């Protein structure tokens, strides 16, 4: 140990280093334990929400007349040019 460095200075360096390492180990252990706890815990449903449908709405299809198709094609040409 160098002579110009007091014990209090060494303690001021060593104590935070030891605390940081200890916190890292504790947090790693907590995360490791939490990971298995989450996998084992069943996912509760939300009783306030009604059951949601699994499929979307039915598709609607409308036949366009020839004039409507031509108007739509003209609109698409105008939008693509601009």
Domain coordinates in residue numbering, the chain = 1-42
What phi and psi values does residue 63 have, to the nearest 5 degrees? -75, 130
Angle among Cα 66, 75, 79 to the nearest 5 degrees reads 155
CB contact set of 54 (below 8 Å; sequence gap of 6+) = none
Computed over every residue of the chain, the mean pLDDT equals 81
* Average confidence (pLDDT) over 42-70: 79
Each residue of 32-51: pLDDT tens digit? Answer: 766 655 555 555 666 677 77
Rounded Cα distance, 32 and 73, in Å: 60
Query: Is residue 63's pLDDT more than 80?
Result: yes
* Average confidence (pLDDT) over 23-27: 89
Residue with tokens 């706890």: 37
Q: What pTM was computed for the model?
A: 0.38
Higher-pLDDT residue of 46, 24: 24
* pLDDT of amino acid 5: 76
């Amino acid at each position: 140990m160098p002579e110009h460095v007091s014990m209090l200075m060494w303690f001021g360096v060593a104590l935070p280093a030891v605390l940081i390492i200890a916190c890292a180990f504790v947090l790693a252990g907590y995360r490791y334990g939490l990971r298995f706890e989450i996998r084992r815990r069943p996912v509760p449903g939300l009783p306030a929400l009604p059951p949601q449908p699994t499929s979307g709405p039915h598709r609607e299809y409308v036949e366009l007349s020839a004039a409507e198709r031509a108007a739509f094609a003209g609109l698409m040409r105008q939008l693509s040019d601009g």
